Amino acid sequence: MEKKQRDSGLELLRLVALLLIFWIHGASSYRNNELSAWLCIVIETVGNVGVPVFVLISGYFGIRLKPKKMIQLDLMLIFYCWIGLVLRFLWGEAQSYGGEQILSYVFPVIGRNSWYFTCYFALAFLSPFLNEFVERLTKENFRKLLLTMLIIFSGITTVCFFDITQDGGKGIVNMTLLYLIGRYIRLHEEKRTYTRSKLVGAYLVISLACIALNGVLYVVTGTVQNRFARDNTLFTIAASVCIFLLFKEIHFESKWVNAAASHVPAVFTMEWTLRGIITAYMFNYLAWNESSWHELILLGICVLLIVMGTIIDWLRLTIFGRIEEKLADALYAFWLKVGKLGGKVLAKLGLLV
């Protein structure tokens, strides 16, 4: 019996979100004139939904903590971070790195080489408790919880600019909030259908309002701040939910989309290393930063990043996949032994009942 393909609507969204993330990383790196500044405001407003969308998808499907899978994810991060560090030494960049920055490549999760993966690991270990907690909540109490969190962690930030978490939404608090929103949609809104035109209309209204407010800040201060487009503002969260619901209603099956989406975490990890490879050995797109077509060139580079990263990760899995799996099994077995030994020690000390 042929295995049924996973619905590809949300898998396609993973790829779109990755493209948007890469685009804002490039577009926000340089502003050579007023037009470029306004384009940056638009691109950051549109593109900053990328990471929130990732977390909404995780919340919708629900993270099920599997230690072996987490070990494999960590091994993937180590593989690409170590290669990235070696290349940076070859390019002469890493010579100026301090010890803490180098260690962030050596131990990418605890070193916060990528804030997203560090927070994802934390969320994964919290997920069994979060899942059980919200599954016991009534729909009404779940809604009250989300409303309370939105007011405290997003509403105040949006209206008053006071960032309670002091991380611009790039931390475990906002990630947990988005995860819970995804869980709420799955648990209590799964059977509800949404009109695509209304979702698109709502998204456009939210995005245009955000662009207008950020534009006012730019006109008044003379600098591009994009305060209203940060990850933890009501604008970004609402826009992300609209995009998520829109793609949730798209149903089709594509093994190519699903296969490409499975490489998204690895490509995400490789972004800055791949950018270095492109500029050093292929095409110095940064030399075009004075061009009026700079943002479109950056978009093309983003597509190239995804294609290159997907091919590289496919090669990694083809060559090292079995070795990585056996290493993950060995590390997991070691972890279990250490856990049992630790339990015995605690029991002897009377600290474990």
Give pLDDT tens digits for 191-232.
888 899 999 999 999 999 999 999 999 999 888 888 999 999
Under 8 Å CB-to-CB from 341, ≥6 apart: which residues?
none
140: pLDDT strictly greater than 80: yes
Contact 36, 30 (CB under 8 A): yes
Backbone torsions φ then ψ of 234, nearest 5 degrees: -60, -35
Mean per-residue pLDDT, 260-283: 94
Model pTM score: 0.92
Residue with more model confidence, 206 or 287: 206
50: pLDDT strictly greater than 90: yes
Residue with more model confidence, 323 or 29: 323
Residue 5's pLDDT is 58
Q: What is the pLDDT of residues 176-186, one digit of tens each?
A: 999 999 999 99
Contact 181, 56 (CB under 8 A): yes
Residue type, 106: V
Contact 239, 210 (CB under 8 A): yes
pLDDT cut 70: percent of the chain above it = 93
Q: 142: which 2 tokens? A: 């779940």
Helix (H) or strand (E) holding 208: helix 196-221
Mean per-residue pLDDT, 244-261: 94
80: pLDDT strictly greater than 80: yes
Residue 351's pLDDT is 55
Say if residue 140 is exposed, middle or buried (CB neighbours under 10 Å; 0-12, 13-18, 19+).
exposed
Instruction: Quote the CA–CA distance of 313 and 308 in Å, as a whole number.
Output: 9
Say if residue 340 is exposed, middle or buried (CB neighbours under 10 Å; 0-12, 13-18, 19+).
exposed
Residue 2's pLDDT is 43
Instruction: Quote the CA–CA distance of 93 and 124 in Å, as a whole number.
Output: 33
